[in-house]
Structure 1
């Protein structure tokens, strides 16, 4: 079978790499891909928003399954376009992808499904929002309603910070005018974050091992939010008891509620969870594989990824049992190497050295994110450049190995967090 993966980041490279290992896959294409997907598959020079061209390519090449990586084409209806033409595709349709595409929709869904989340209020004008902030006696988080590449969430310590955040989103339109037409302001939750990804098909739910992302740009969770600076899996806090609680109190009510409301979810549902003193609370839902959580998940997955994706698409997920999904018992750590200036302005085109040396280390895989090949060399082509991922007998071993690989790689302006996995080591 030929498979097409849509996207160009580290998540897509991990998916391409894993699918290429399936005995049933003859070829993996990636559109548009990066320098890493060109090694483990074959890149196709098509943009993720060129729906007609992607459909034509899938038909011409007789693609047996298409897998959508990023959120943008999902929320714009790529799955709908493929299904209309009778093409098999993994991911939610446009209606179901609103769970990520609209913070307002997601929050209202949680309220109706009685899913534990932070106290919140929705606004479509800045002045009432500022007035409401003044009446709160606790720190808040201001969220742009629409997609903002993981950066439309502003954590505020004071009322003045919150008012500035409201202006940034609604008046200055920093994250795009459409994304800021409405905002959600919610009580800031305290605790550790947990990422729980689950395969979902209709009412069937198959949770994957919990992982922990690191969203802040700097060590110690300091600095601005990013798309994710690293992750490790399995998360130490993700005990079987907690995972069972999250499945029953988060995924079941949301998945069943979407089914009842006639926009059933099919694909990968991601719940960002804050572990508070009052129990787990949902921060957000995503409608696709997380990045960088996918990288440590894929390096640990021993089962055939194609089997899992097809079970979702063919509505046979309920026939799979958790013991049919085999994981390497060893933990994995992914460290993101980012471009200088990220998540702010940065320059592309910086040559990357040391990739071959890092790849020679045992149980290490360097997943490419913002890279491209130019004049027979690999150069930077994005904010998050690489996801250096390693397995180890213990979390400490995996962490040490990942940073050994990071030390062999260099490009001008490279920066990364040095504390990925530290929370897990503390228990």
Structure 2
């Protein structure tokens, strides 16, 4: 079987790494790929958002299944386009992917289905948003409505920060079209958790939970990022809590989308705040999380390719999925300056120094004559494995210590919330 994975980041590297372990021994391709995916998959010189060119390649090469990694091609309608051409593809159609593409749309779905989430208002007028923020007070959360590469959320602890966030998004167009509408939300407190699920219509199979670390620096300090590290399992997410999340959040949403004529098929990512009143939704994503995938898929014991095919073929309800008891911790190594303007082109040393208890997933890297260099804000995801979180964290940071590049920075407290 020939399988094409679309994307170029750490998530796609992790997907290919797991697909390469399939007993079906698929021939793997990645478009466009990165230096980390090249030992696993043939690189295709087509960008992830070149929808027609990707479909042309799939037809020409006889690709049996295409897996869409990032959100941008999903919102560009790549699944719709592939299906119109009779090509098998894993991911939600554009209308269902709006659960990520518009925070206001996601809020409206939750509101109609009685799903617990933060109280909110959405605005297209900056002055109206400013008046609401002044009336409500801080702390408060300001979100760009559209896609902003994981950076369109500002947690404002003061009114001045909130008004600056509104100016940055709506007046200065920091996130382009994504900020033409903003969602202003109630500030929630508690621990965060991520629960991803394979979904086919109204059939759901939950994955093991993970906990991401969005702020750039230790102790959850600094600006938000796309994610600085993650771990799994998450002790605060008990089996009972997981059942509650499926019953009160994920199932009502997928049933609501199906009832609206936009059935969901693919991976649904649910970002949660575990409040004193119970779990509440922070956000939905229409694909595997990054870097959550880098700790969740290593714990998957079942054949990922078989799961993908069952979703596409409508047989997910018959699929048994098993998970390992081992723990995984992923530490993101970021470029100097990230998440603001960051360095590129620095040579990376130590990439070949991993061992059986760790793996390095490439996120923002590039092959040059000088060697593999940094080419993104989040450069690498270093994942360690162990019998428990403490052991997995040790393996991850031992592997981190062997990697270096100019300006490299990372959090040193990934998984500490669980260990404390």
1:335 alignment partner, one of 327, 331, 353: 331
Q: Please name the residue that 1:278 is paired with.
A: 277
Q: TM-score, normalised by structure 1?
A: 0.97
**Displacement of 1:40 after TM fit?**
1.5
Provide, for residues 149-188 of structure 1, a one-character-per-residue CA deviation record: whole Å limited to 9, x for no partner. Answer: 0000010011121111111110000011x11111100111
Q: Which residue of 2 aligns with 1:315?
A: 314
Compute the displacement of 1:376 (Å): 6.2
Q: Does 1:394 align with 2:388?
A: yes
- Residue equivalent to 2:352: 356
> Which runs of 5 or more residues in structure 1 are unaligned?
none
> Within 1, Cα distance between the matches of 2:339 and 2:137?
30
Q: Displacement of 1:138 after TM fit?
A: 4.2
Distance in 2, matches of 1:25 and 1:15, equals 14
**Distance (whole Å) between structure 1 residues aligned to residue 344 and residue 46 of structure 2:** 20
The aligned length equals 420
> 1:410 is paired with a residue of what secondary structure?
coil
Aligned-residue CA RMSD (Å): 0.9
1:100 aligns with 2:100: yes
Which residue of the partner structure matches residue 171 of structure 2? 171
Farther-moved stretch of structure 1 (294-303 vs 267-276): 294-303
* Alignment partners' CA distance in 1, 2:399 and 2:21: 23
State the distance in 2 between where 1:185 and 1:85 align.
40
Partner of 1:413: 407
- Which secondary structure does the structure 1 equivalent of 2:35 belong to? coil
Query: Normalising by structure 2, what TM-score?
Result: 0.99
Shift of 1:326: 2.0
For 2:59 and 2:288, the matched residues in 1 are separated by 25
The Cα offsets for residues 218-254 of structure 1, whole Å up to 9 and x where unpaired, read as 0000000000001001111110000000000001110
Contact 1:3 1:25 in 2 (8 A): no
Residue 377 (str. 1) matches residue 376 (str. 2): no
Matched residue, 1:183: 182
Q: Indicate the SS of the match to 2:179.
A: coil
Q: Which stretches of structure 1, 4 residues or more, deviate above 2 A after TM superposition?
A: none
1:329-357 deviation digits (Å, cap 9, x = unpaired): 11100000010011111121111101111
- Which residue does 2:62 correspond to in 1? 62
TM-fit CA distance, 1:328: 1.9
Where 2:251 maps in the other structure, the secondary structure is helix
Written as runs of structure 1 = structure 2, the 5 A alignment for 1:159-308 is 159-176=159-176, 178-308=177-307
User: Is the partner of 2:150 in helix, strand or coil?
Assistant: coil
The match for 1:72 is: 72
Query: What is the match of residue 38 of structure 2?
Result: 38
- In 1, distance between residues paired with 2:20 and 2:64? 14
Q: State whether residues 347 and 370 of structure 2, in contact with CA within 8 Å, keep that contact through their aligned partners in structure 1.
A: no
* 1:52 CA drift (Å): 1.2
